[in-house]
């Protein structure tokens, strides 16, 4: 009787370990799918023009160069662009916070028709990614 419980507990732990390993494997694969384009862009940042054209160069450049960063900084006027981006992002963050606070207050305090459907739609908007 006690031996059966011990065996079941050991099997349950092994199954939990196997399940965790499977979950982490899937998470690593999915994270690579999301990170691969970003890593590719970072790799291409340090490539010279010859490396970009050369099909044999995939990830690591043959001759790393910071010339692309210098050209981008001068062409894009990086200071002005960065300040505009920060201003725009801050303005949108304040507006989003205000609208979200009003929506949360309305959903928590008032009872109205289709309230549960609206809450479900908001939760699904967080769960389902935008294509």
Which residue, of 53, 75, 97, is where some domain finishes? 75
pLDDT of residue 80: 93
Which residue, of 60, 75, 90, is where some domain finishes? 75
| List of residues 6+ apart from 52 with CB closer than 8 A | 44
From residue 85, alpha-carbon distances to 45, 70, 97, 99, 118 in Å are 21, 20, 18, 21, 32
Which structural domain, as residue segments, surrounds residue 129?
77-131
- Tell whether 36 and 50 lie within a shared domain: yes
- Tell whether 61 and 15 lie within a shared domain: yes
Judge residue 116's burial from the number of C-beta atoms within 10 Å of its C-beta, 0-12 exposed, 13-18 middle, 19 or more buried. Answer: exposed
C-beta of residue 42 within 8 angstroms of C-beta of residue 64:
no
Q: How many domains does the chain have?
A: 2
Which residue, of 51, 75, 99, is where some domain finishes? 75
pTM of the model: 0.50
- Tell whether 83 and 120 lie within a shared domain: yes
Q: What is the dihedral of CA 52, 69, 62, 33, to 10 degrees?
A: -70
Q: Mean pLDDT for each 10-residue chunk of the chain (131 residues)?
A: 82 93 96 92 87 83 86 88 96 97 92 91 88 70
- Tell whether 104 and 130 lie within a shared domain: yes
pLDDT of residue 99: 95
Q: Which two tokens stand for residue 1?
A: 């009787």
pLDDT of residue 36: 92
């Amino acid at each position: 009787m006690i031996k059966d419980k011990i065996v079941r507990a050991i099997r349950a732990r092994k199954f939990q370990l196997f399940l965790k390993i499977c979950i982490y494997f899937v998470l690593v694969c999915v994270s690579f799918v999301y990170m691969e384009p970003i890593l590719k862009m970072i790799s291409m940042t340090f490539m010279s023009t010859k490396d970009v054209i050369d099909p044999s160069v995939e990830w690591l450049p043959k001759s790393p160069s910071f010339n692309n960063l210098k050209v981008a900084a001068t062409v894009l006027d990086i200071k002005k662009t960065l300040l505009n981006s920060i201003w725009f992002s801050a303005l949108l963050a304040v507006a989003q916070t205000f609208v979200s606070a009003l929506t949360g207050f309305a959903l928590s305090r008032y009872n109205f028709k289709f309230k549960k459907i609206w809450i479900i739609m908001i939760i699904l908007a967080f769960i389902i990614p935008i294509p």
